[in-house]
């Protein structure tokens, strides 16, 4: 199985509206959002729709541009377009681009011109947090956990590293934590 290396970019256009793109690990745009959004949160809702709908091939419609090159449009459950790909020189190239979007649409990384958001998973609950330092206590408070808890940072193999009181973690990627109640 391929690894997700892509990420979303959220930015403000010259018109003052928010937009987003999905980029592959090589930093090239593989899907452009179709809407212009009034707020950051509205653009985040568009990204969430791509994350939800982008892994299902039947949500993509293949079209032909005026130059006779194929491209695809990603549609939401209500059949409204939410993103489109570039034009491709062949059907094989389109298939490769589509596969990249289907994989990378699941990325939880959102980079913005004013802030970057990463998914923080604490005991199965997910939160979007900004890049930067966060303490053990802030993580537990974010998750609404009161009382005595052990917090463990999980790596991609499921290995655990305990995060002790007062310890600061610098968020620069998506993180997953396990929690164990002590009382």
pLDDT of res. 114 = 64
pLDDT of res. 98 = 96
146-149, long-range: CB < 8 A, 24+ apart = 147/181, 147/182, 147/183, 148/181, 148/182, 148/183, 149/179, 149/180, 149/181, 149/182
Q: Which CATH code is given to the segment(s) 7-112?
A: 2.30.29.80
Domain residue limits, the chain: 7-112, 118-181
pLDDT of res. 71 = 96
From 1.20.1290.10, 3.30.1320.10, 3.10.20.30, 1.10.1370.40, which CATH number describes the 118-181 domain?
3.10.20.30
Could you read off the pLDDT of 22-53 as tens digits, one per residue?
999 899 999 999 999 998 889 999 999 999 99
Torsion angles phi and psi, residue 2, rounded to 5: -75, 155
pTM of the full structure: 0.72
**How far, CA to CA in Å, does 161 sit from each of 66, 128, 146, 174, 182?**
55, 22, 21, 16, 17
Within the chain, which residues score under 70 in pLDDT? 1, 113-115, 183
């Amino acid at each position: 199985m391929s690894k997700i290396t892509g990420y979303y970019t959220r930015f403000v256009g010259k018109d003052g509206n928010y937009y987003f793109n999905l980029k592959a690990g090589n930093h090239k745009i593989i899907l452009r959002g179709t809407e212009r959004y009034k707020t950051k949160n509205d653009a985040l809702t568009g990204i969430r729709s791509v994350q939800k709908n982008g892994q299902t091939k039947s949500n993509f419609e293949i079209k032909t541009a005026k130059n006779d090159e194929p491209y695809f449009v990603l549609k939401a459950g209500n059949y409204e377009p939410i993103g489109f790909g570039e034009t491709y020189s062949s059907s094989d190239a389109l298939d490769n681009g589509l596969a990249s979007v289907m994989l990378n649409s699941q990325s939880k990384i959102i980079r913005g011109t004013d802030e970057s958001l990463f998914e923080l998973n604490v005991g199965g609950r997910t939160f979007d947090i900004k890049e930067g330092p966060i303490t053990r206590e802030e993580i537990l408070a974010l998750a609404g956990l009161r009382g005595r808890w052990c917090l463990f940072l999980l790596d991609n193999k499921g290995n655990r590293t305990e995060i002790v009181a007062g310890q600061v973690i610098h968020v620069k990627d998506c993180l997953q934590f396990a929690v164990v109640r002590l009382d």
